[in-house]
Structure 1
Amino acid sequence: MNDMVKRPQGRSYSDLQDHLSILEKNNLLNTIARSINKDTEVHPLVRWQFCGGIAEDERKGFLFTAVSDSKNRAYDRTQVAVGVLSANPQIYALGMNCSIDQIGKAWIDAIANPVAPRVVDSAACQEIVLTGKDVSDPGKGLEALPIPVSTPGFDVAPYLTAGLWITRDPDTGVQNMGVYRGNLKAADRLCVMMEKATLAGGYVHWTKYRDRNEPMPFAVVLGAPPVVEFLGPQKLPIGVDELTVAGGLAKGPINVVKCRTVDLLVPAEANVVIEGLIDTETLEPEGPFGESHGYMQIEEYNMIARVTAITRRKDAIITSIISQVTPSESSVIKKLAYEPLFLEHLRDRLNIKSVKRVSLHEPWTNLRKFVFVTLERGAAKTEVWRALAGASSLQPAIGKFCVAINEDVNPDNANHVLWAIAYRCNPVDDIQIVNYKSAGHAPRTAASPLESIVLIDATLKVDFPPVALPKREYMENAKRLWAELGLPPLKPESPWFGYSLGEWNDDWDKRASLAAAGDWLLNGLDSAKRARAMREPNVTVSDVLPDGPQSTRATDAKTNL
Structure 2
Amino acid sequence: MSDSPETDALDAHLQKLAAAGLLHVIDRPIDKDREMHPLVRWQYRGGIPESRRKAFLFTNVTDAKGRSYPGARVAIGALAANPEIYAVGLGKPVADIGRAWLAAMAAPIAPRLVDSAPCQEIVLTGDDLLGEGKGLDALPIPISTPGYDTAPYFTAGLWATRDPDTGVQNLGLYRGNLKAPNRVAVMMERSTLAGGGVHWLKYKARGEKMPVAVVLGAPPLVAFTGPQKLPLDCDELTVAGGLGGRPVEVVRCKTVDLLAPAHAQVIVEGLIDTDSLEPEGPFGESHGYMALEEYNFSMTVTAITRRTNYTITSIISQVTPSESSVIKKVAYEPLYLDHLRNALNIKGVKRVSMHEPLTNLRRFLFITIAKGTPNTEVWRALLGAASFTPAIGKFCVAIDEDIDPENADHVLWAIAYRSNPLVDTHVVPNRGKGHGPELPGGGTDSTMLVDATAKGNFPPVALPKKEFMDRARVIWEELKLPQLAPESPWSGYSLGDWSDEWDACAARAAKGDWIANGRRSAAHRSATAEPQDPARGIVFRAE
- Per the normalisation by structure 1, the TM-score is 0.95
Match of 2:476 among 478, 482, 492: 482
- Of 349, 356, 360 in structure 2, the residue corresponding to residue 362 of structure 1 is 356
Of 309, 316, 320, the residue aligned with 1:326 is: 320
For residue 474 of structure 1, report the CA deviation from its aligned partner: 1.6
Q: Aligned pair in 2 of structure 1 residues 383, 13: CA closer, same or farther (>3 Å)?
A: farther
Find the aligned partners of 1:131 and 1:475 in 2 and give their Cα distance: 69
Relative to structure 2, which stretch is displaced further, 495-504 or 381-390? 495-504
Map of 2:450 onto structure 1: 456
Q: Which amino acid aligns with 2:353?
A: S
User: Residues 520 and 539 of structure 2 are in contact (CA less than 8 Å); yes or no, is this contact kept in structure 1?
Assistant: no
Q: Matched residues in 1 for 2:168 and 2:301: separation?
A: 22
Partner secondary structure for residue 184 of structure 1? strand
In 2, Cα distance between the equivalents of 1:431 and 1:444? 24
2:190 alignment counterpart: 196
Q: 1:163 aligns to what?
A: 157
Query: What residue is the counterpart of 1:248 in the other structure?
Result: 242
Residue 432 of structure 2 corresponds to 438
Identity rate of aligned residues, in percent?
62
1:36-185 pair list within 5 angstroms: 36-185=30-179
Cα deviation, residue 535, structure 1: 6.2
Partners of 2:4 and 2:315 in 1: how far apart?
Answer: 30
How has the CA–CA distance of structure 1 residues 535 and 388 changed in structure 2, closer, same or farther, with 3 Å as cutoff? Answer: closer
In structure 1, the residue matched to 2:287 is 293
Contact 1:370 1:400 in 2 (8 A): yes
Amino acid of the residue matched to residue 174 of structure 1? V
State the match for 2:441 in structure 1.
Answer: 447
SS of equivalent residue, structure 2 residue 133:
coil
Task: Name the SS of the counterpart of 2:277 in structure 1.
Answer: strand
Q: How far 1:480 moved relative to its partner?
A: 2.4
1:25 to 15, 19, 30: 19
Provide the C-alpha distance between the structure 1 equivalents of 2:40 and 2:162, rounded to a whole number of angstroms: 34
2:260: which partner in 1?
266
Match of 1:466 in 2: 460
Q: Could you list the per-position Cα deviations for residues 112-136 of structure 1 after superposition, in whole angstroms to 9, with x for gaps in the alignment? A: 1111111111111011111111112
Cα deviation, 1:240-261, whole Å, max 9, x if unaligned, reads 1111111111111111111111
Give the counterpart letter for 1:408 in structure 2: D
Distance (whole Å) between structure 1 residues aligned to residue 472 and residue 267 of structure 2: 58
TM-score when normalising by structure 2:
0.98
What whole-Å deviation, never above 9, does each CA across 1:336-361 have from its counterpart, x for those lacking one? Answer: 11111111100000000000000111
Distance 1:479 1:23 in 2: 36
What does 1:334-373 correspond to in 2, within 5 Å? 334-373=328-367
Q: CA deviation at 1:518?
A: 1.6
Contact 1:372 1:402 in 2 (8 A): yes
Shift in alpha-carbon separation, 1:514–1:548, aligned structure 2, 3 A: closer
Shift of 1:483: 2.2
Question: Is residue 13–residue 250 contact of structure 1 (8 Å, CA) maintained in 2?
Answer: no
Aligned residue pair count: 540
Measured after TM superposition, the shift of residue 11 of structure 1 is: 3.0
After TM superposition, the structure 1 stretch with the greater mean CA deviation from structure 2, 350-359 or 512-521, is 512-521
CA–CA distance in 1 between the matches of 2:178 and 2:56?
Answer: 23
Return the letter of the residue paired with 2:59: T
Shift in Å at residue 110 of structure 1? 1.1
Q: Which runs of 5+ in 2 are unaligned?
A: none
Distance across 1 between alignment mates of 2:36 and 2:384? 41
Give distance in 2, aligned partners of 1:260 and 1:189.
Answer: 17
Distance 2:277 2:468 in 1: 66
Distance 1:494 1:508 in 2: 24
Q: Does 1:304 align with 2:319?
A: no
Cα deviations by residue, 1:471-516 (Å, 9 ceiling, x for unpaired): 1122222222222222222222211111111101111111111111
Q: What SS class does the counterpart of residue 445 from structure 2 fall into?
A: strand
Alpha-carbon distance in structure 2 between the residues aligned to 1:496 and 1:85: 34
Higher alpha-carbon deviation: 478-487 or 225-234: 478-487
SS in 1 for 2:5: coil
Unpaired segments ≥5 residues, structure 1: 550-561
Residue type of the partner of 2:343?
A: R
Match of 2:521 in 1: 527
Query: Which residue of 1 is the match for residue 488 of structure 2?
Result: 494
| 1:239 matches 2:233 | yes
Moved over 4 A (4+): none
The answer to whether the 8 A contact 2:215-2:266 is kept is yes
